C-alpha cells in the first residue's frame, strides 16, 4: 500500500526505552519518576507509559488526575505509582483514592477534601465501618513545600499547620504520608542549594511534629543530571526521557540521550518562480534568483513557529533547505534552488540528527524557545506513528 500521509510525528519507542534505562542507572540509588504529563510531552502518554513500566520504571508523573485515571484505565495497575499534583479548586478525589493515585498536596483545603474523599470511598465499600477507618483505602499523600519557585507548595507560615493536620489524618487511618517534595527554580546553583536547605529544614520540622515520609524528591531533568547530591530518593524527569536537552549548549548526545520524536511531512506542491517573486503572506521573502520553491504542508497549527522563517532549515534528499516567507497555519515554503524535488518527497523538520536534520534542541534554539515547547506544540492533527 502506498503511504499517503501529509504530515507525521514518528515516536521511537526504543530510543525512549534506552533513555529511561540510561537515566535509571544515572540517578541510582534514587529512583526515576518518568513524567508523562501533557500527553507525554506530545509523544502519547498511554503508549509511552506502558514502555516505561516495561523498562522497570515504578513512578509516573501525570500532573492532572484525569491523566492518571486514563493510565489506570489503560491497564497500569496500582503497583505503579501515578503522581498528580495540579487540581481544580473543587476537585473530587474519590476516584483518585480508589485508584491509589499519589497526590501532591499544598494546602489545608486540599488535605481536607482528600480526607472527605477517603471517608466517602470507605463508606461506599463498607457502609458499616465506623468513619471508614476499618477499610484499607488511605490516600497516598505527598506534602509540597515552597522552597522558592513560588508556584505550588506550602509557604513557611503554612507548613506546620499542614503537617500537623496530615499527621492527625494519618493517625486516624485516612491517609499515608508517602512523600515530601519541592521543585527547584534552577536560576543558579547557589539558589538551588538554598532551596534544598529549605526543604531539609521543612522535613526536619515535620519529623518533629510526628511525620515520617517514605520518599523525598526535589530535582527534575536539569538538576537531576547536574546535582547528584540533590537527587534524594526520587528524581522527576520528563525532558531528558524524550531526549530533549535542558541545559544551554548541551545536546542530547552529550547527555547520552536520543531524541524520541521525528517530525516529517511530504512535499505537496513544487513551483518554479522568477527572481524577485514574493512568496507567502506579506512577501517577507523575495526570490534573489530564478529558483524552485516547494510547499511543505505543516504550519503553526501543527506547532511550527512563525519565527521559523528566520534561519530554520529542513532536511530533504540529504540536504538542508531554508524555510522562506511567512509560516502559515497549514504550510510553509522552502527554497530548493535548482535541485530536483518532487511532490511526495519527505521533508524532515527535526529528528535524532543522524541523517543531517536538525534536532529538536537545535530547532528550538533557532526559534528562541525550548525543545519541550516544540514537542508539546505538535498539533493533534499530526498523527503519531510508533516504531520500535
What residues contact residue 93 under an 8 Å CB cut-off, 6+ apart? 65, 103, 113, 114, 116, 117, 139
Whether residue 281 lies in the annotated active site: yes
Whether residue 319 lies in the annotated active site: no
Which of the residues 5, 271, 281, 319 is marked catalytic? 281
Q: Measure the CA–CA gap between 194 and 83, rounded to whole angstroms.
A: 25
Q: Measure the CA–CA gap between 154 and 107, rounded to whole angstroms.
A: 6
> 349: part of which helix (H) or strand (E)?
strand 346-350
User: Grid coordinates representing 292?
Assistant: 524552485
Tally of CB atoms within 10 A around 69: 17
What residues contact residue 64 under an 8 Å CB cut-off, 6+ apart? 37, 84, 86, 87
Q: How far is CA 257 from CA 15, 21, 230, 247, in A?
A: 8, 10, 21, 13
Which of the residues 37, 41, 181, 242 is marked catalytic? 37
Closest CA to 219 of 42, 32, 29, 81: 32
User: Grid coordinates representing 83?
Assistant: 503522581
Closest CA to 106 of 62, 67, 159, 66: 159
Residues taking part in catalysis: 37, 281
Amino acid at each position: 500500500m502506498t503511504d499517503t500521509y501529509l504530515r507525521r510525528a514518528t515516536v521511537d519507542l526504543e530510543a525512549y526505552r534506552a533513555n529511561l534505562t540510561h537515566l535509571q542507572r544515572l540517578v541510582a540509588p534514587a529512583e526515576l519518576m518518568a513524567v508523562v504529563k501533557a500527553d507525554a510531552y506530545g509523544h502519547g502518554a498511554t503508549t509511552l507509559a506502558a514502555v516505561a513500566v516495561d523498562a522497570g520504571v515504578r513512578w509516573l508523573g501525570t500532573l492532572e488526575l484525569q491523566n492518571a485515571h486514563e493510565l489506570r484505565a489503560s491497564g497500569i495497575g496500582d503497583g505503579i505509582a501515578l503522581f498528580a499534583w495540579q487540581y481544580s479548586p473543587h476537585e473530587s478525589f474519590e476516584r483518585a483514592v480508589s485508584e491509589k493515585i499519589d497526590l501532591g498536596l499544598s494546602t489545608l483545603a486540599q488535605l481536607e477534601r482528600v480526607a472527605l474523599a477517603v471517608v466517602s470511598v470507605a463508606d461506599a465499600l463498607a457502609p458499616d465501618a465506623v468513619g471508614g477507618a476499618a477499610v484499607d483505602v488511605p490516600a497516598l499523600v505527598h506534602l509540597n513545600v515552597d522552597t522558592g519557585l513560588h508556584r505550588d507548595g506550602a509557604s513557611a507560615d503554612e507548613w506546620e499547620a499542614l503537617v500537623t493536620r496530615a499527621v492527625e489524618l494519618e493517625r486516624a487511618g485516612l491517609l499515608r504520608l508517602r512523600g515530601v517534595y519541592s521543585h527547584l527554580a534552577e536560576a543558579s546553583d547557589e539558589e538551588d542549594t538554598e532551596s534544598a536547605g529549605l526543604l531539609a529544614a521543612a522535613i526536619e520540622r515535620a519529623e518533629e511534629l510526628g511525620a515520617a515520609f517514605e520518599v523525598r524528591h526535589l530535582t527534575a531533568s536539569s538538576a537531576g543530571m547536574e546535582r547528584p547530591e540533590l537527587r534524594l530518593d526520587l528524581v522527576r524527569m520528563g525532558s531528558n526521557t524524550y531526549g530533549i536537552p535542558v541545559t544551554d549548549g548541551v545536546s542530547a548526545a552529550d547527555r547520552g540521550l536520543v531524541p524520541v520524536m521525528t517530525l516529517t511531512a511530504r512535499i505537496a506542491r513544487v513551483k518554479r518562480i522568477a527572481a524577485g517573486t514574493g512568496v507567502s503572506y506579506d512577501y517577507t521573502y523575495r526570490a534573489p534568483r530564478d529558483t524552485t520553491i516547494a510547499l511543505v504542508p505543516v504550519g503553526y497549527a501543527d506547532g511550527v513557529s512563525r519565527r521559523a522563517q528566520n534561519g530554520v532549515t529542513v532536511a530533504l534528499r540529504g540536504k538542508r533547505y531554508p524555510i522562506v516567507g511567512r509560516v502559515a497555519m497549514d504550510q510553509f515554503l522552502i527554497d530548493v534552488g535548482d535541485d530536483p524535488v518532487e511532490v511526495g518527497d519527505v521533508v524532515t523538520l527535526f529528528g535524532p540528527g543522524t541523517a543531517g536534520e536538525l534536532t529538536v534542541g537545535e530547532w528550538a534554539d533557532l526559534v528562541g524557545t525550548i525543545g519541550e515547547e516544540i514537542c508539546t506544540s505538535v498539533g493533534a492533527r499530526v498523527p503519531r506513528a510508533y516504531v520500535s
